[in-house]
Structures are given as structure tokens and as C-alpha cells.
Amino acid sequence: MRAVAARSPVRATPGTDRRRRNLLRPEVPVEWLALGASLFFLVFCNSSFFAAVLATGVLEAPGGWITVAGIAVLLATLHLVALLLVLTERTAKPVLAILFLVTALAAHFMSKYTVYLDADMVGSILHTDHKESRELVSWSLLPPVIVLGVLPTLIVCSIRIRRRPLLRAFAVRTAWIAGTATIALTATLFSFQGVSSLMRNHPEMRHLATPGNYLVSLVRVMRSDQIAKGAPRKPVGVDARVDPRPPSARPRLLVLVVGETVRAQNWGLNGYARQTTPRLAGIAPVNFPNMRSCGTATEVSLPCMFSPRGKAGYDRETLKRSESMMHLLARAGVSTSWLDNQTGCKGVCDGLEFESLEHATDATRCDSEGCSDRILLDRLPDVVSRHAGDLVVVLHPLGNHGPSYYKRYPQHLRRFVPACESPDLDRCDREQIVNAYDNAILATDELLADTIAFLRTQSERDSALVYVSDHGESLGESGLYLHGIPYAIAPDTQTRVPMVMWFSSGLLDALRLDVDCMKHESSRTAASHDNLFHTVLGVFGVSASEYDPDLDLLRSCIEPAP
């Protein structure tokens, strides 16, 4: 029998191992990473942008395909140039990882809620708190974060970056930038007429082009915040004073309730099919059915409505560097106080009396997720008792802030059912969403009615209540949800808001105000946030150079002095 020689096991050579590792972890220059990332953003993260482009009917026009192709090439090349300018061998992986994850979030919320990431929206995101932001976190967020954020990040992290000598790296990068710019210029020349016309007629679409939209907006917000932070506020009302009154005149008390996210279309006093304001209807305050907001987000509307500049003079940086109506009133001798169950006064009350109740520990009003708006009314008597003279108290409730409308009202006000009880609105049909939203308005109605009941007990003061919402809300109309659409294209559901006024009999007499005249005028007068500043000055009889009697909603119904 022949002996069979034992065979030694086959071992992989060092070259084989190296080739295997190269296949699993290829070596790629930074420029190719930048190109891959820009194409990834174009193809997978800009569905909202291209949906908006196609919705304009661009393909029906001559050369429509050339226009769309030109836009795609320009979008890819602009992002590529930006990446080529910032990515290095050391920074490429962490920068791209952050971009992938943030862009995944941006693409998700733009697609789900039709969010436009302009400077105002990015400012709102940066200045929100964890209570509001966590309501937007749901299981529907997981797939896009994994697919658009985690997976590309893992791929990039597994790649080895090819290193070059400094001079050669500079030459290669310069050539890439020059070549990309040439491609962009060529695409512009071939599609200039269509692209320029589209962008000129629909400038808001640039706020959907991801990730450039939020990056540009972030720079603008940080710049304006930094400028405002380092500059003193420009005084407002340096000559403000309260007009003389008889010695027997009682001090005046105004409770100004700045509502949150209530739209005029669902306001019962405006003739809505449902009576969402039953208690206010029994009180019959002065109602303004034709009221417009200054913005579509709190970050814009709040500073604007407390400013004498109004919507026409709105400028984010200027308002951040200016004092507000609250500072003017304080300078005139009217005490001010701000009670907040939201994310602050957005600079409107800086340096003045302010109390946040958003994270109070009241066992009856608060839980781990925050406090109900009733805590504002609980604190009101104490604030009023601490101030003897004229006083304005601002209540800033959570109101109808979405998407968790079902958390904004107690169970005894759950009248419209079935109500959506999820922050993930696409799990509910529109009827359920509207039901929850309308129930939340019932809570506002109850808060306002009980506040008026408290003011009626203030026999030693002449009192008033003014309620106005900061902006409206979309509840699924035309695929839109929440708010924050650029004002130029925002639907009425986001710009029409409710406003009501109530006056004690003593204040009506002191102002010589004809309330029947007010009700008549309010039913036919178009009003806006621009009127608030001047109307509040009128309530207190404050004279100031900023005061415009034509914008004072009380002025036309004040009877002449005998």
C-alpha cells in the first residue's frame, strides 16, 4: 500500500489578505467622498424639493425636462463645491456623519409636515425646548434616520481616505472645484431661462433644497443672534408717559393672553360650524373675525406684535436689537409681568419681570411632561396683588401647540370624538386630528372665561382682557400640517387668527368707550398684529412718539369728552 503524503493547509498570502481588506475597506480620495455625498443628497434627500418643482407645472412648459435637469445639476454641483471647500482628510468623516444624520431628520420632517427650513423656522427649532421637540419624535422617524442617516454614515466610516502630499492635494482640489464650477456654469447656460423663471416666481422653493437650506439658514440665524447678543437694545418710547387722570381714577389692569397656534377658521365666535367657544359666547366679548398674524411661527409673530414696526417693518435682526411694547409701558410707569408656559418671550420681556411655569412642580397642574395652562391662572392673583398701580400681565399658554393636540385639554373637555391621540399625525385621519384640535380650543375658551371671571372680582381696578393668537395651524389641508410656511405662500389657516377683547364696566366708563360701536367695527374691520401695540397703549392712555392712533382699534369708538 502506497503511503499518502499529508497535505499542509493552504494559507492565504499577505497579498491576498491585503486585497480582501481593500475590498471591504476601499481607499477613496476625499473628492470622491464629496461627490458621492452630493449625489446621495440629490437623489435620496430632496423629494420635497422636486415635488414642489414638479407641482409648478414646469414639465408642461417647452423645455421643461431641460429645466428640471438643469436644476438637478445645479443642486448637485452647489453642494459638491460646498463640500470640496470644507472637507479635508481629517474632517471628512465626522462632517459627513453629522450631515447625513441631520439631513435625514430634515428630509423626514419636510416630507411629513411640508416644513420649509428658512431662517425663521431654523430659529424656531434652535430656540425650542426638549418638551416640544420630543413630541415630534415617534417610531416613524426610525426608518428615514436608519436609511438616510445611519447607513451612509457607516459606509463612510468604513472607507479609508487616501492621503496626498499637501501641494498635490491642493492642486487636485483646485482642479475639482474648477471642473465642478464649469459643469454648473454649463448647466446654467443651457437651462437659464427656465430655471431663473422658476426661482423668480417660486423663491420659497430654495428652502426645500437639502442640506443647503438648513445650513444657509443656520448661518443667518447664528449671525443675527450674535449681532443681537453683542449690541444694546434700541430704546422704544423714550418720551412715553401716562396721560393725566382724575385723582379718583382707579388703576388699570390688562391681562394680555398671547395664544398659541389657534386659527380663526375653528374659532366658535367666528361662525365655525362647531361651538368651540361656548363660554366666551355667553360672555359676548368684542370679537375680531378678520384678524391676520404677522408671521406663521412664534419666533416671528411674538416680537413683531409687540413692536411698533409692524409686519411691513419686520426685520429679524432689528427687532432683536430693539426694545418692545413691554419696555415702553414700563418706562411710562405701567408695571409689567410675563407668565410663561411656553418657550419664553423671545426677547420681548428681557430685563422685565418674567416667570416660567413650564416646568413647575405643582402636583395638580403638572406632570413629567409639563404643566397645563391652568397654572397661569393659578399664579395670576399673586402677581396682581404684588402691584398697586397700572399693570399689564401677559399670559403665554401652550394652547394648541401641535402635534400632540390631545395633551392640551383635560378629559372633561374631550367632547369631539374620536380624537387623534398620537403625535404621529399620519396615523390619524383628518376628522380625528380636527377633533383633538377643537377640544384644545375648548380649553382655551375655558381659560379665557375663567380669567374674565377673576377680573370681575377686581373691584378696585378697571380691568380688561385681550386675547390674540400668534399664528394659525394647518390640519392636513393640501397635505400641510403644523405651521411655519413662508408667509408669502402660507395658507389662510396659518395666517388668520382669532382675537377678542373684554372690558369691565369701570374701564368702559373711564375710556368713554362705546362697546356696541366696538362690536360693530370689529365685525367689518380688517385687523392684524400691527394693531396690538397701539391698542394696548390706548387702553392705558399712554402717549409716545411711536403711538399711531390710526392703528388703535379703540380710537374710533371713544366718545368725545363732555
pLDDT tens digit string along 454-502? 999 999 999 999 999 999 999 999 889 999 999 999 999 999 999 999 9
- C-alpha–C-alpha distance, residues 430 and 115, integer Å: 19
DSSP one-letter string for 418-435: S----S-GGGS-HHHHHH
Contact 518, 286 (CB under 8 A): yes
The pLDDT of residue 1 is 40
Contact 48, 110 (CB under 8 A): yes
Percent of the chain with pLDDT over 70: 94
- C-alpha–C-alpha distance, residues 535 and 452, integer Å: 19
The pLDDT of residue 101 is 96
Q: Determine the average pLDDT of the residues in 169-185.
A: 96
- Asked if the model's pLDDT at residue 341 lies above 90, the reply is yes
* Per-residue pLDDT reduced to its tens digit, 504-559: 999 999 999 999 999 999 999 899 999 999 999 999 999 999 999 999 999 999 99
- Asked if the model's pLDDT at residue 6 lies above 70, the reply is no
Residue 546 phi/psi, 5-degree rounding, is -80, -15
* Per-residue pLDDT reduced to its tens digit, 385-437: 999 999 999 999 999 999 999 999 999 999 999 999 998 888 899 999 999 99
The pLDDT of residue 455 is 98
Please name the residues in contact with 512: beta carbons below 8 A apart, sequence gap of 6 or more: 558, 559, 560, 561
Provide the residue ranges of all domains of the chain, joining segments of one domain with +: 22-225, 251-406+438-557
Residue 328 phi/psi, 5-degree rounding, is -60, -45
Q: Determine the average pLDDT of the residues in 150-156.
A: 95
- Asked if the model's pLDDT at residue 7 lies above 70, the reply is no
Residue 8 CB neighbours (<10 A): 6
> What sign for the dihedral angle of Cα 159, 163, 169, 172?
negative
Grid coordinates in use for 238? 423714550
φ/ψ region of 163 (left if φ > 0, alpha if ψ in -120 to 50, else beta) reads beta
Grid coordinates in use for 222? 447664528
Partner residues linked to 160 by β-bridges: 27
- Between 285 and 197, whose confidence is greater? 285
The pLDDT of residue 279 is 98
Partner residues linked to 499 by β-bridges: 468
Which has the closest alpha carbon to 464: 412, 397, 518, 409?
518
Please name the residues in contact with 172: beta carbons below 8 A apart, sequence gap of 6 or more: 29, 31, 164
Polymer length in residues for the chain: 562
Query: H/E/C letters for each residue in 177-229?
Result: HHHHHHHHHHHHHHHHHHHHHHHHHCHHHHHHCCCHHHHHHHHHHHHHHHHHH
251-406+438-557: CATH, from 3.40.50.460, 3.40.720.10, 3.30.470.20, 3.40.50.2000: 3.40.720.10
Q: Determine the average pLDDT of the residues in 362-369.
A: 85
The pLDDT of residue 313 is 87
- C-alpha–C-alpha distance, residues 469 and 155, integer Å: 47
DSSP one-letter string for 3-18: PPPPPPPP---HHHHH
* Per-residue pLDDT reduced to its tens digit, 319-332: 888 999 999 999 99
The pLDDT of residue 427 is 87
The pLDDT of residue 3 is 47
The pLDDT of residue 362 is 85
Reported as a pLDDT band with limits 50, 70 and 90, residue 14 is: low
| Residue whose C-alpha cell reads 440665524 in the numeric block | 221
Percent of the chain with pLDDT over 90: 77
Q: Determine the average pLDDT of the residues in 346-375.
A: 90
pTM of whole model > 0.75? yes
* Per-residue pLDDT reduced to its tens digit, 232-265: 889 999 999 999 999 999 999 999 999 899 999 9
Contact 136, 403 (CB under 8 A): yes
The pLDDT of residue 13 is 57
Mean residue pLDDT of the chain comes to 91
The pLDDT of residue 21 is 56
- C-alpha–C-alpha distance, residues 275 and 500, integer Å: 16
Grid coordinates in use for 153? 454614515
Which has the closest alpha carbon to 147: 45, 268, 36, 291?
45
